[in-house]
C-alpha cells in the first residue's frame, strides 16, 4: 500500500490532521488499535477552546458542536467555604469555552473523514514503524482480519498517545525528555448526575481539592484530591459523595450538590511530559505522543488539535509549493504553545491544591487565590491563559 501520509492513532490529533489534509487533496490512511465504538465512547476531556472550535468550523465539522455544546465564560473558586467567580470570557474578548465531550469530537471527526471518502483501519495490532529517517518510511500492522499489511508513505504522523508505539520507535537519545511528577493524585469520577452548577468549580478545603466539571445535561465530572497511592476501590461511592459535599460546602449559601450513579472511578497520577524535538526523520509526533499535561486548565485536547493544525498546514505547504519551512519549524511552533500551557497548568496546580510539596506551598496557594480574588490585573492574565492565548 502507498499513501502520502500514514496517521497512527484515531484520537483528536490524528483525526483532525486526517480531515485537514484529506480536504486539501492529500491522500492518507488512519490506523487505530481500538475499535470504532471504543474510540467513540471513551470518556476523556470535555472542554474546547475558542480556537479549536474555529478550526473545526473551518473544516465544516462543527455543526453539531455549535448546536449542542454549552458555552462557558465564568468559573468559580471556593476557598474554605467562601466563593468567588472569575468571568474569564468578559476579560478576554468574549471568547468562551465550549463544553463538548471528547468522544463527541471524535465521532464528528470520524464521520466527516469517512463521509469524504477517508480510509480508517480500526482494531489493528502489532504496529511497527520502519525507515523513519528515509524519504519513504513505512508502517506495518496486522489488520482486524489477521492480514499483515505494510504502508509506505512520505510522512508518518504519530498520534497514538503516551503509550503508543510512535514515540518509542525513536532511538534512545534522539529526543530530550522533560518529565515532572506533581506528587498529586486525583480520584476522577464520572456520574450520571445533572450539573449542580453553571460554572466549573475549583474548591479547596483543608483536606484537599475538589472539582466539579461539566459534561452534559445528565452527566457530570468530579475530581477529588486523594492521598498518593490511593486505589479507586479504596473509596466507596458514599465516601466519594461525602467528600464532595464537604469540599464544595459554602458557609452562606443554600447551594446543594445533586448526586447520581457513579459510572466511572479512576485514579489519575498527575504528571507532565514533553519531548523535544517533536519529530524524528519523517515521523512527526502530535498530541499526547509528544506531550502530557495535567488536566488542570483543560489544555490537553486543545494542544493536540493545535499540533494537528500546525502539522496539517506544513504538509499542505509541502505538497502545494514544495516548501519545507513549515515542516522544519513544526516542533518549535508547537512547543511555544505547549510550554506556555505547561507553565499555566503548573501555576494552577499549585494554586488549587493543599500542601503540594510542603505546608509552605499550601500558604503560597492561599496567597495566589487571594491575589486572583482581589486583583483585576491578575484575573486578566488568568483569563488570557485559561481561554487560550
Residues that bind ligand PHB (CB under 6 A): 45-47, 200, 213, 221, 295-298
Specify whether 295 is catalytic. Answer: yes
Catalytic residue list contains 299: yes
Work out how close the CB of 1 gets to ligand PHB at its nearest, in angstroms, rounded to a whole number. 38
Q: Which is nearer to ligand PHB, 87 or 125 (CB)?
A: 87
Q: Which is nearer to ligand PHB, 47 or 356 (CB)?
A: 47
Exposure string (b/e) for 139-178, b if CB count within 10 Å is 16 or more?
A: bebeeeeeeeeebbbbbbbbbbbeebbbbebbeeeebeee
Residue (152 or 162) nearer to ligand PHB, CB: 162
Residue 352 C-beta: closest distance to ligand PHB, Å: 8
Q: How far is the CB of 20 from ligand PHB (least distance, A)?
A: 25
Shorter beta-carbon distance to ligand PHB: residue 260 or 281: 260
Closest distance to ligand PHB from the beta carbon of 223 (Å):
7
Distance of alpha carbon 252 from alpha carbon 271, whole angstroms: 36
Q: Which residue is nearest to ligand PHB (CB)?
A: 213
Q: Is 72 a catalytic residue?
A: yes
- 17 sits in the region (left: phi over 0; alpha: psi -120 to 50; else beta) called alpha
Q: Which of 244, 234, 300, 238 is nearest to 267 (CA)?
A: 234
Q: Which three cell numbers stand for residue 173?
A: 537519545
Residue 347 burial by Cβ neighbours in a 10 Å radius (0-12, 13-18, 19+) = middle
Kindly name the residue from 33, 50, 182, 299 that is annotated as catalytic. 299
In the numeric block, which cell numbers belong to residue 239?
465516601
Of the pair 209, 330, the CB lying nearest ligand PHB is at 209
Which secondary-structure segment (H or E) carries 130?
strand 125-130
How long is the chain?
A: 389
Candidates 88, 100, 202, 330; catalytic one: 202
Closest separation between CB of residue 57 and ligand PHB, Å? 21
Contact criterion met (CB below 8 Å) for 50 and 387: yes
Catalytic pick among 33, 92, 295, 319: 295
Which residues are annotated as catalytic?
72, 202, 295, 299, 386
Amino acid at each position: 500500500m502507498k499513501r502520502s501520509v500514514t496517521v497512527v492513532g484515531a484520537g483528536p490529533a490524528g483525526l483532525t490532521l486526517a480531515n485537514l489534509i484529506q480536504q486539501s487533496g492529500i491522500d492518507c490512511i488512519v490506523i487505530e488499535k481500538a475499535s470504532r465504538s471504543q474510540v467513540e465512547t471513551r470518556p476523556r476531556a470535555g472542554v474546547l477552546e475558542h480556537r479549536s472550535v474555529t478550526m473545526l468550523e473551518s473544516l465544516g465539522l462543527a455543526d453539531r458542536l455549535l448546536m449542542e455544546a454549552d458555552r462557558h465564560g465564568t468559573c468559580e473558586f471556593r476557598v474554605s467555604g467562601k466563593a468567588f467567580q472569575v468571568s474569564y470570557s468578559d476579560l478576554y474578548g468574549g471568547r468562551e469555552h465550549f463544553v463538548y465531550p471528547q468522544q463527541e469530537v471524535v465521532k464528528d471527526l470520524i464521520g466527516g473523514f469517512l463521509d469524504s471518502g477517508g480510509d480508517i483501519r480500526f482494531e489493528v495490532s502489532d504496529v511497527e514503524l520502519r525507515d523513519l529517517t528515509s524519504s519513504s518510511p513505512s508502517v506495518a500492522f496486522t489488520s482486524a482480519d489477521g492480514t499483515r499489511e505494510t504502508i509506505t508513505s512520505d510522512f508518518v504522523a504519530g498520534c497514538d498517545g503516551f503509550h503508543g508505539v510512535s514515540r518509542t520507535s525513536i532511538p534512545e537519545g534522539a529526543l530530550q525528555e522533560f518529565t515532572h511528577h506533581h506528587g498529586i493524585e486525583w480520584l476522577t469520577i464520572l456520574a450520571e448526575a445533572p450539573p449542580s452548577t453553571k460554572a466549573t468549580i475549583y474548591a479547596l478545603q483543608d483536606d484537599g481539592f475538589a472539582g466539579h466539571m461539566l459534561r452534559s445535561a445528565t452527566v457530570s465530572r468530579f475530581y477529588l484530591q486523594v492521598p498518593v497511592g490511593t486505589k479507586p476501590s479504596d473509596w466507596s461511592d458514599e465516601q466519594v459523595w461525602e467528600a464532595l459535599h464537604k469540599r464544595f460546602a459554602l458557609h452562606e449559601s443554600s447551594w446543594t450538590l445533586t448526586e447520581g450513579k457513579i459510572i466511572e472511578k479512576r485514579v489519575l497520577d498527575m504528571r507532565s511530559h514533553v519531548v523535544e524535538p517533536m519529530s524524528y526523520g519523517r515521523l512527526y509526533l502530535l498530541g499526547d505522543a509528544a506531550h502530557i499535561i495535567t488536566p488542570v486548565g483543560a489544555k490537553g485536547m486543545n494542544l493536540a488539535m493545535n499540533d494537528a493544525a500546525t502539522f496539517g498546514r506544513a504538509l499542505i505547504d509541502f505538497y502545494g509549493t514544495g516548501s519545507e519551512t513549515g515542516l522544519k519549524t513544526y516542533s518549535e511552533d508547537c512547543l511555544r504553545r505547549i510550554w506556555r500551557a505547561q507553565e499555566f497548568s503548573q501555576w494552577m496546580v499549585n494554586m488549587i491544591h493543599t500542601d503540594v510539596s510542603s505546608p509552605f506551598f499550601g500558604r503560597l496557594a492561599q496567597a495566589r487565590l487571594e491575589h486572583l480574588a482581589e486583583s483585576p490585573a491578575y484575573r486578566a492574565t488568568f483569563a488570557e491563559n485559561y481561554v487560550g492565548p
